[in-house]
């Protein structure tokens, strides 16, 4: 069965993906990747989207209404089902993902990194963005995060891994989108990510690159509309997908990942995989 890495670049709207990520678009043009539009759940709020991306159920079911009151979810998710099937999982993400899918509250000394063979997250490497604010971007360097995920792939042999970074979401909240700062930030991230995608593909991983939600031109999200909800989803792999003009529902991502990993999709994930 394929191994798969899911890369979530937080808060990147569809229009930024398609005009500013030249390496990803180059792979679409060369036929090595496919791209679709994906629409986030409502609210298009980060924590609500994270919970939906990995459980495949909407906020109206998992009850994560905003970025507050983070807790352990009591629903099957990608980590729990993959671990049950005997696969090794990895996470290089914001600490919310550890709280939702392993344990809460997040204890920075206990939980900043762990290796727990029983799962559900076999190898976790987290960051908190503690001290984050409009004028104080506390995201780690994306290069470091990509390096950490690559170590989990090459040293720990994970079958499934997720990487999530808030760099571009933070840039959007600070600068908005019609500005040279955002042009440069997307250009840099595309250039940093590309060699890692090449390396992961060489190592036999399928790769999905997408965002949790978009942002308005003012750098807002949480509500409805194509600017706040619509993102691109790039897929590198051998699975069959829908026609290019089909808009993927964010709830289809969890069942798609499990389907590609050869893991049984739980009954709670009703949206249906977009990949076979």
For binding to Zn ion (CB under 5 A), which residues are involved? 10-11, 46, 169, 212
CA distance 229 to 231: 7
Q: Give phi and psi for 26, each to the nearest 5.
A: -65, -40
Radius of gyration of the chain (CA): 17
Q: Which is nearer to Zn ion, 142 or 212 (CB)?
A: 212
Q: What is the DSSP secondary-structure string of 84-140?
A: HTT--EEEEEEHHHHHHHT-SS--HHHHSEEE-TT-SSSEEEEE--TT-BTTB--PP
Smallest separation (angstroms) from Zn ion to the CB of 47: 8
Instruction: Tell me the β-bridge partners of 7.
Output: 163, 209
**What secondary structure letter does DSSP report for 193?**
H
Whole-number Å distance between alpha carbons of 51 and 59: 8
Closer of 170 and 259 to Zn ion (Cβ): 170
Closest approach of Cβ 117 to Zn ion, in Å?
A: 30
Residue closer to Zn ion (CB basis): 68 or 243: 68
* Nearest to Zn ion of 8, 271 (CB atom): 8
Report, in Å, the least distance between residue 46 CB and Zn ion. 3
- In the complex, the smallest distance separating the C-beta of residue 38 from Zn ion, rounded to whole angstroms, is 14
Q: Which C-beta is closer to Zn ion: that of 11 or that of 255?
A: 11
CB of 264 to Zn ion, least distance (A): 29
Distance CA 227, CA 180 (A): 19
């Amino acid at each position: 069965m394929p191994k798969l890495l899911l890369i979530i670049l937080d808060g990147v709207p569809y229009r930024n993906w398609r005009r500013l990520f030249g390496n990803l678009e180059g792979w679409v043009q060369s036929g090595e990747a496919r791209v679709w539009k994906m629409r986030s759940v409502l609210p298009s709020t980060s924590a609500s989207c994270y919970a939906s991306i990995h459980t495949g159920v909407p906020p109206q079911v998992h009850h994560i209404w905003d970025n507050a009151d983070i807790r352990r979810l009591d629903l099957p998710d990608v980590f729990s089902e993959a671990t049950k099937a005997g696969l090794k999982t990895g996470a290089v993400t914001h600490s919310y993902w550890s709280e939702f899918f392993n344990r809460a509250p997040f204890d920075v000394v206990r939980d900043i990194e762990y290796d727990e063979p029983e799962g559900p997250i076999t190898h976790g490497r987290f960051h908190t963005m503690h001290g984050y604010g409009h004028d104080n971007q506390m995201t780690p360097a994306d290069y470091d995060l990509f390096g950490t995920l690559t170590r989990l792939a090459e040293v720990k042999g994970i079958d499934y891994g997720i990487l999530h970074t808030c760099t571009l979401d933070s840039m959007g909240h600070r600068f908005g989108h019609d500005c040279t700062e955002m042009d440069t930030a997307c250009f840099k991230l595309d250039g940093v990510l590309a060699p890692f995608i090449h390396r992961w593909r060489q190592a036999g991983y399928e790769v999905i690159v997408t965002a949790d939600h978009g942002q308005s031109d003012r750098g807002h999200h949480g509500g409805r509309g194509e600017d706040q909800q619509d993102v691109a989803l790039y897929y590198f792999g051998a699975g069959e997908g829908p026609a290019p003009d089909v808009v993927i529902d964010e709830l289809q991502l969890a069942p798609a990942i499990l389907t590609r990993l050869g893991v049984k999709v739980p009954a709670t994930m009703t949206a249906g995989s977009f990949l076979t």
